[in-house]
Structure 1
Amino acid sequence: MADISTRVPSAPPQWVENFAKLGLSAKGVVYCLIGILAFMSAFELGGQSTEGADRSGTFQFILEQPFGKWLLGIVAVGLACYVLWRFIQAIQDTDHEGSNAKGIAKRLRYAFSGLIYAGLAYLAANMALGNGGGSGGDSRQTLASELLQQPFGQWLVGIVAVGTMIAGLNQIYHGYSEDYKKKIRSTGLKSDVEDTMIRAGMAGFIARGIVWLVIGYMFLRAALHSNAQEAGGSSRAFAFLEDASYGSYLLGAVALGLICYGVFMFMRAKFLPVYR
């Protein structure tokens, strides 16, 4: 009996490639702006505060620029392309992860990433259309509040906390690992471009990991104290870092790392094959 997978049409590689590159570029824009706004808030430049240094604040920043609605609309389309690519990665296994437990776990991670960015694409589109999408509260506080109202709510919030902290540690480990470095070195890039990309990726993954660790820690406090107000997203994480000893320098370093992650996304879109 013929393999049923041969009967399923696959997406044209170039079509997937173009959508992935646009999506990675849009993600790079978002992370560069988040990093810039966080850096400005760290050193009180331009009256910027940590409250506006999250994704919603970044979209609002874009909206306030000349032709802001058009620019934010382009970002929304780019993020939608990123979502589509993530789902194609998960469903068609374009990275050849396989169907064993490890492969399925990675493909589920791609799908989960797609769902997260689908929400961001929707938020950006809503704000670009003038529907006030950026006026809501902290989505993570809302999540913590909803979970705390369920049976075993504190345990559920604790599970989210542990999962987020593990994800943060995994990001930091990935920044030091050889996994993404091997992919970069296998493409035959010029040595200076290769080195820049590896360093940007390392700084970016570590910075993202630190932010996720702080978010996980805040969820853990919310679970222990049964208080959803102690949970928060990236803006609260930035405020937490800023309040620490030498907080401005700590937040500034993390902000630069997030900018590096954005640069890494741009370089990945330009230099690395995204469909294998």
Structure 2
Amino acid sequence: MKPSEALPDDLAGESRFQLLTRLGFAARGLLYILIAALVILAGRTEDLTGALEYVGHGIGKLLITVLGAGMAVYGLWHLTDALFGIESGRHHWKAWRKRIISAGSGAIYLYLAYKTVWIVFAGRFGGNETQSRTADALQLQGGELFVLIAAAILFGTAIGQFFKVARCNFLDPLDCTEHQKRWIKWLGRAGYSARGVIFLVVAWLLAQSALHHNAAEAGGLEQALDFFSRDTRGWVAAGLALFGVLSLVEARYRRIHRPPPVEEVADMVAEKLER
């Protein structure tokens, strides 16, 4: 965007919420870089919670407190988009699809923020949550179907990551020069490819656990990284690190719209109740 171009009212003079959302993008980026560094430098595979626990001692508690605050705001930003369409739009089917995805992302990152609070005060959060949740689901009537549906959703998420690789639409919300976008494009392609591969493996692990009625076969990010050989794992981790760098780029350059004012929200709620 050229300096002479006027910014919309919801972008000009960024609010505190918008600035904190940038902290959220940065927190997401640092977390992915940490996970990748543990794989490449220490030979450790951790999920998002494990990475937080790894640094959750001594001065590391200050770091994960900052990360937790960032993820909380990032989650709230996604939920705000889901409710009001401030980023996704409002009145077409693609907007509703994006808003549903935003709702899911918001819930996940708010849960991660909750985990950071637990880790700061308790030191650890718990065991393998994916396997625990899968075991609970498999005990239900028709539980295998529920797990297969979850696997299908993750498979669809993986395909969505690969669409981003092909279309490079992650560049659209960035306020930077075309020269900068040329290298950001390849950064994003590598990062989203790695994320897509991880989602595919997690979907496969869930599907196997459903078909074999064995929760121990399910897994999250940590088990997905363990799925690969040592050399391949390093390349996938490098891709996740690049996704983390992309998140830091987004923290700097992404256009972030303000949420609607309280008065407008109240009017929208009143209008819905009158129908």
Long gaps (5+) in structure 2: 1-9, 259-275
What do the CA deviations read for 1:144-165 (whole angstroms, capped 9, x no partner)?
1111111111111111111111
Is 2:167 aligned against 1:177? Answer: yes
State the identity as a percent: 28
What do the CA deviations read for 1:73-122 (whole angstroms, capped 9, x no partner)?
11111111111111111112112522333211211111110101111111
Alignment map for 1:75-224 (pairs within 5 Å): 75-129=67-121, 131-134=122-125, 136-184=126-174, 187-189=175-177, 191=179, 193-224=180-211
**Contact preservation (8 Å) 1:197, 1:264:** yes
**Alignment partner, residue 244 of structure 1:** none
Shift of 1:126: 1.3
**Alignment partner, residue 25 of structure 1:** 26
Higher deviation after alignment, 208-217 or 96-105 = 96-105
SS of 2:141's partner is coil
Q: 215, 233, 252: which is aligned to 2:220?
A: 233
Distance across 2 between alignment mates of 1:179 and 1:213: 21
Distance across 2 between alignment mates of 1:200 and 1:61: 27
* Partner AA of 2:177 in structure 1: L
TM-score after normalising by structure 2: 0.84
What do the CA deviations read for 1:17-60 (whole angstroms, capped 9, x no partner)?
112101101111101101111223xxxx4xx432xx21122112
Distance across 2 between alignment mates of 1:112 and 1:79: 14
SS of 1:63's partner is coil
TM-score after normalising by structure 1: 0.84
RMSD: 2.0
**Contact preservation (8 Å) 1:124, 1:133:** no
**Contact preservation (8 Å) 2:168, 2:188:** no
Distance across 2 between alignment mates of 1:75 and 1:98: 30
Instruction: Tell me how many residue pairs correspond in the alignment.
Output: 248
Shift of 1:67: 1.2
* Partner AA of 1:49 in structure 2: R
**Alignment partner, residue 252 of structure 1:** 234
What do the CA deviations read for 1:220-270 (whole angstroms, capped 9, x no partner)?
1001100010001111111111xxxxx222111110000000100000110
Are residues 56 and 188 of structure 1, via their aligned partners in 2, closer, same or farther at CA, if it must alter by over 3 Å? closer
Shift of 1:176: 1.8
What do the CA deviations read for 1:131-154 (whole angstroms, capped 9, x no partner)?
1343x1111111211111111111
* Partner AA of 2:155 in structure 1: M
Distance across 2 between alignment mates of 1:162 and 1:259: 26
Distance across 2 between alignment mates of 1:169 and 1:152: 26
* Partner AA of 1:63 in structure 2: G
Q: 60, 63, 88: which is aligned to 1:71?
A: 63
SS of 2:208's partner is helix
